[in-house]
Amino acid sequence: MKNLVQEIEKLKKERRAVILAHVYQPPEIQAIADYTGDSFGLSQQAAATNAEVIVFCGVHFMAETAAILSPEKTILLPALDAGCLMFDDMIEQALKKKIQEKPDAVVVSYVNTPAAVKAMSDICCTSANAVAVVESIARDKEIIFVPDRNLASYVQEQTNANIFSWPSCCPTHARLSKEELQAMKEKHPQALVLMHPECEPEVRGLADFIGSTTNIVKEAKRSPNHEFIIATEQGVLYQLEKACPEKSFYLASDKMVCSNMKKTTLEKVKSSLIQLEPRIIVPEETRLRAVGSLKKMLAICG
């Protein structure tokens, strides 16, 4: 593994590349990244970096975001089949229909959506800034919030906005049941529960803190407590253990693993740097329609 890491480092310099990794990626991928973060942080980095090549270790829609924001750069996705199970392919047509039914509504879409959906949206959001994005919209406007119904209901609770929520959800977060979390709390009575807003509402009722992955890490650092139950994807444990080696972290459920996030390997990163493939390219016409919704998000929350 050491040799492979050295080869990646060498290729990275030769290619003038930067490696961005989502915090749900496997530990060995987060370890070689120049920047790790949640989807909001990664989109900020993708917009700001001077590198000519971005190796995006995450899922397809996140790399597409980088391609929309930085069309002049080469965007590589080492695991081309890393999709997101929050979607079905019908979303684009269904959203078009919903917009026709509600022509005055403001469309807020999660950054993990296909470029074609971003192109139909007024503004994008991530779990880190969804509340701020919705608060930036006039109070009398109805909002079509797409696609995570759990993030939508969390934002609704925080803002009281008039939200039409899409029926989809993130299966990784939705897999955590109230009973399983209750059992973890009984096993670790001193632990605080730090949770991602994409968990189901009845599960969120058992949380001590709700926030994006970046905010979960900040809270674990800030809190005087020493034990935590972590209710988000398993990859975050790498960041938490690095940031707070003296504290204990227990994953709320061993089912909270996103198979798509785990498709990136060091071999695939190396191969992408050698071949400059698989490359993510968004057709210019779609990109031009999609870039506005991302830039609006970055302007509000950057």
Q: Per-residue x/- marks for ligand 13P, 192-221, CB under 6 A?
A: ------x-------------xx--------
| Inter-residue contact 25 to 264 (CB < 8 Å) | yes
- Which residues in 28-57 contact ligand 13P (CB under 6 A)? 38-39
Own/partner pairs, 241-244, CB within 8 angstroms, 24+ separation: 243/217, 244/220
Pick what 212 binds: ligand 13P, ligand SF4, none; C-beta below 5 to 8 Å, kind-dependent.
ligand 13P
d(CA 147, CA 153): 11
**Smallest gap from residue 254 Cβ to ligand SF4 (A):** 15
Interface ranges with ligand SF4 (CB under 6 A):
24, 59, 84-86, 112, 170-172, 233, 258, 260-261
**Smallest gap from residue 199 Cβ to ligand SF4 (A):** 11
25 binds ligand 13P (CB under 6 A): no
Nearer to ligand 13P, 167 or 283 (CB): 167
Pick what 38 binds: ligand SF4, ligand 13P, none; C-beta below 5 to 8 Å, kind-dependent.
ligand 13P
Q: Per-residue x/- marks for ligand 13P, 142-181, CB under 6 A?
A: ----------------------------x-----------
Give backbone dihedrals phi and psi of 256, rounded to 5 degrees, phi first: -85, 60
* Residue 180 neighbours by CB under 8 Å, 6+ apart: 252, 253
**Smallest gap from residue 273 Cβ to ligand SF4 (A):** 23
* Residue 45 neighbours by CB under 8 Å, 6+ apart: 18, 20, 35, 37
Q: Which residues of 42-76 are buried (b: 16+ CB within 10 A; e: fewer)?
A: bbbbbbebebebbbbbbbbbbbbbbbbbbeebbbb
Pick what 85 binds: ligand SF4, ligand 13P, none; C-beta below 5 to 8 Å, kind-dependent.
ligand SF4
Residue ranges in contact with ligand 13P by CB under 6 A: 24, 38-39, 112, 126-127, 170, 198, 212-213
